[in-house]
């Protein structure tokens, strides 16, 4: 699992390298409402959650590509030190050093408390 430290600011997560992740799904927003504004948070996602997109979402630089059957594994730089792994369909050509943009499947995103490393979950209500 990719674990990226960021800052939760005004409903979005500021990531290394300057991009922001906007958790559009209401359930994710409810989970993040437990985090105070301008607080550190860990964004977790599996490599298969990554979707390469044309519009400017999360910017990255391709560090390494590896063919893996019908998939391509990409190691992506988010900032100077942060590298995440993506598993995408074998169709695009990605060269080391090229810039790409990606988004995340919201069903495959998790958030973690950086102090305890515990997963943040929906608070239970007495309904």
DSSP string, 54-114: SSSSEEEEEEEEEEETTEEEEEEESSSS-EEEEEEETTS---TT-EEEEEE-GGGEEEE-T
Assigned CATH for 2-112: 2.40.50.140
Q: What's this model's pTM, rounded to 2 decimal places?
A: 0.89
Q: How far is CA 95 from CA 31, 42, 44, 57, 73, in A?
A: 37, 28, 25, 19, 12
- Judged against a pLDDT cut of 80, whether residue 23 lies above it is answered with yes
Mean pLDDT (whole number) for 20-31 = 84
pLDDT confidence of residue 39: 93
Q: Check whether 126 has a pLDDT greater than 60.
A: no
Model confidence at 123, pLDDT cuts 50, 70, 90, reads: low
**127, pLDDT greater than 70:** no
């Amino acid at each position: 699992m990719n674990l990226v430290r960021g800052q939760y600011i005004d409903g979005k997560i500021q990531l290394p390298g300057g991009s922001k992740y906007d958790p559009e799904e209401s359930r994710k927003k409810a989970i993040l409402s437990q985090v105070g504004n301008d607080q550190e948070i860990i964004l977790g996602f599996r490599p298969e959650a990554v979707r390469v997109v044309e519009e400017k979402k999360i910017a990255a630089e391709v560090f390494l590509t590896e063919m893996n059957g019908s998939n391509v594994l990409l190691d992506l730089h988010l900032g100077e030190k942060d590298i995440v792994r993506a598993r995408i369909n074998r169709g695009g050509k990605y060269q080391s050093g090229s810039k790409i943009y990606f988004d995340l499947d919201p069903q495959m995103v998790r958030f973690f408390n950086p102090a305890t490393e515990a997963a943040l979950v929906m608070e239970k209500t007495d309904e």
